[in-house]
């Protein structure tokens, strides 16, 4: 409950325009710990640095809830440019996309624009042997995102597109089971949006138990799992689970956020686990940055110290 109240307080404050203006003016130097610059080239530079330590990358051009169809299509074009640039530099593109940023919920020529643009993006990923993760957003978008995941897997194959489930949502166990016929590649996260208690668990212990349950069930079903957490107790439990159940290290990977627990990322990679860092970049970094701050009180102190030094 305390964790929920803390997250709610931080996200409520961060949503005030005056606070956003201050952080944007003074906080970019601090935000660079979590965001790999504002351009494709800075993002790909971060990828290459991680590759030196045997760590893979998941690139995310920041932006969500974009208001016009034209801007949504332009955003999709920017994602295509990212994949082209990655391929040109010998990097197999692996990207995350929020469907709201490419037009989900906006109908153009009889089809949801988010799906239309997602077809373009996943098609390009398949051309390069890459992968697209459809990021999960706030709870009203879950049904449409999972329905569009089905369409995209049917069109391009599960090797090239997957999605995310959030363990703090009560519905996620049922959602996961309903996807088993697809054998999808899923990233399991705890969830970072400010959600009502009617749909999301307010108690951390319940969220953690749900997280383990989702990971174990998806593994037992023979599906590829992205274990996206920095929680060392969960990581240890997953390691014990895969050993006890004879699950190969090729059947899952650990995913962590760029700039957070770099020591743990390197350690796991050195132990032979597949590790992938989620690398956000772009000018629209404030919303993402706010959610990272809302996750842990220590992150707030890090930001305040950095802004005071600046």
Q: Which residues are catalytic?
A: 135, 187
User: Based on the number of CB atoms within 10 Å of its own CB, is 301 exposed (0-12), middle (13-18) or buried (19 or more)?
Assistant: exposed
Question: Would you give the distance in Å from CA 310 to the centre of its chain?
Answer: 29
Q: 63 — alpha (psi -120 to 50), left (phi > 0) or beta?
A: left
Asked if 188 contacts 226 with a C-beta cutoff of 8 angstroms, the reply is: yes
Cα 121 from Cα 77, distance rounded (Å): 8
Q: Please tell me what DSSP assigns to residue 229.
A: -
Q: Among 106, 135, 102, 137, which Cα is nearest to 119's? A: 102
Among residues 300, 231, 284, 285, the alpha carbon closest in space to that of 13 is found at: 300
3-state secondary structure 165-205: EECCECCHHHHHHHCHHHCCCEEEECCCCCCCCCCECCCHH
């Amino acid at each position: 409950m305390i964790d929920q109240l803390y997250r709610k307080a931080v996200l409520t404050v961060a949503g005030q325009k005056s606070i956003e203006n201050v952080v944007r003016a003074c906080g970019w130097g601090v935000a660079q710990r979590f965001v790999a610059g504002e351009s494709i080239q800075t993002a790909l530079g971060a990828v290459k640095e991680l590759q030196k330590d045997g760590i893979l990358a998941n690139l995310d051009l920041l932006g969500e809830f974009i208001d016009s169809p034209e801007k949504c299509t332009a955003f999709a074009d920017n994602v295509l440019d990212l994949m082209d640039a990655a391929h040109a530099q010998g990097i197999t593109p692996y990207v995350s996309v929020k469907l709201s940023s490419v037009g989900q919920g906006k109908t153009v020529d009889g089809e949801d624009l988010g799906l239309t643009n997602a077809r373009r993006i996943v098609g390009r990923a398949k051309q390069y042997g890459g992968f697209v993760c459809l990021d999960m957003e706030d709870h009203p978008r879950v049904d449409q995102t999972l329905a569009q995941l089905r369409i995209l897997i049917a069109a391009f194959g599960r090797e090239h597109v997957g999605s995310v489930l959030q363990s703090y949502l009560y519905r996620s166990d049922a959602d996961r089971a309903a996807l088993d016929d697809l054998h999808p590649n899923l990233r399991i996260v705890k969830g970072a949006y400010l959600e009502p208690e009617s749909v999301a668990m307010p108690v951390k212990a319940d969220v953690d138990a749900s997280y383990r349950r989702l990971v174990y069930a998806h593994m037992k079903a023979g599906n590829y799992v992205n274990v996206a957490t920095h929680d060392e107790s969960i990581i240890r439990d997953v390691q014990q689970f895969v050993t006890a159940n004879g699950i190969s290290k090729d059947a899952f990977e650990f995913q962590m956020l760029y700039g957070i627990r770099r020591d743990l990322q390197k350690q796991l990679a050195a132990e032979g686990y597949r590790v992938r860092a989620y690398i956000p970049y772009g000018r629209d970094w404030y919303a993402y940055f706010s959610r990272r701050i809302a996750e842990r009180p220590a992150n707030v102190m890090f930001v305040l110290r950095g802004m005071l030094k600046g």
